Structure formats: C-alpha cells, structure tokens
Structure 1
C-alpha cells in the first residue's frame, strides 16, 4: 500500500481515478457534493484540499471507506466494497464455496 507520491498528489489522483470509474465529470461530482462546479477541479488541480469532513463525504460519494480510498492495491474499491457487504450476509458453507471458486480462478 505504500506509494512514493506525496499525500496531496495521491489524493488528487485517486479522486480523479475513482471519479472516472464512476463515470461522472468534475462539475457533476461537485454539484452532487453540494458545491460549485469548480470544487473538484480545484482539488484535482492542486489549488485546494478538502477538509476532513469533505473527505468523508467524498468517500461516501464513491461508496467506500477511507481505508479503501487509500488502498492503492485495490483498483475497484466501490465494487469490492459492495461484494464484501454481500459476503457478510452469507452462511459459512456459501462463503467456503466462493473461496473455492476464487482459488480455482486464481490458478487459471
């Protein structure tokens, strides 16, 4: 999970990466978060940084946790988040079947 980028640069690039995966423009994301159209552009261009509470709103917007935001090994945090939520509701026997399937897929 370690990166050579400074934290501000990582934050800007990660927001851009997740925004593109979500398929929304900077201005649409800004509006969705309740800000002016340039809010996200100001963050991704390095002109400003979000406050801590705004960072949590950004994570909520992407439907991920702050840990998932900073986990650079996870290229699809929103999808993994949803999958994990659904897995938590399964019985142990079903989880074991899914684990076996994953193990088989990794050896293909």
Structure 2
C-alpha cells in the first residue's frame, strides 16, 4: 500500500458517492482545490483530516484500507443504518438477511 493507493481510494469512494472534488473540498472546510491536490499527488491529508475524509465518505479507516472487499454505495448505506441499531435490532436484521439468503 502506498500514497497512490490512498489517492486512488479517495477518488474511488468520492465517485461512488457522486460528489465533485470541488464540493467535497468545500464541505470539508478547505479551498476548492484541496481534494484535487490529493488526487493529483501534490498533497496527502494529515491523519486528522484523513479521519474526516473517511467520515465524509461513510467508511471507517479499516474499510478504507480493505483492498479485498469494497462495498457498493447501497451496501455502505445499509451498514450506516445497521451501526445505529442496538444489539437486538441488529440481530433481527441479521435474521432477516439470513432468511432472504436461504430463499435464493
């Protein structure tokens, strides 16, 4: 894993979220060219900024670096909802998913 991976992954997740570089830069509180400077290799985010970027893109740092399992935008939305559930509610969702999977 290297700097290119970080740049490419930010770009990949940004495109999945369908957000232009300029808009993402502004919404993160930076100049309009901030994300472009990362994507082009002129800069890398600091660690705190990287965590803000992950939060903005709806992924954990672990998910960001997981090269083997990239989730689709709809999967990311489902994961965000599941994280808001308590243990019992999450268990009900898992049971439902298992039933759906068995029906296939």
TM range, normalised to the smaller chain? 0.7 to 0.9
Tell me if the contact between 1:63 and 1:81 (Cα under 8 Å) persists in the aligned partners: no
**Count of aligned pairs between the two proteins:** 100
Q: Structure 2: state its 5+ residue gaps.
A: none
Partner in structure 1 of residue 98 of structure 2: 99
After TM superposition, the structure 1 = structure 2 runs for residues 1-108 of structure 1, keeping only pairs within 5 Å, are: 6-72=1-67, 73-76=69-72, 78-85=76-83, 88=87, 90=89, 92=91, 94-105=93-104
Detail structure 1 runs of 4+ shifted over 6 Å in the superposition: none
Normalised TM-score (structure 1) = 0.77
Tell me if the contact between 2:26 and 2:32 (Cα under 8 Å) persists in the aligned partners: yes
Normalised TM-score (structure 2) = 0.80
Provide the alpha-carbon RMSD of the alignment: 2.2
Change (3 A) 1:95 1:55: same
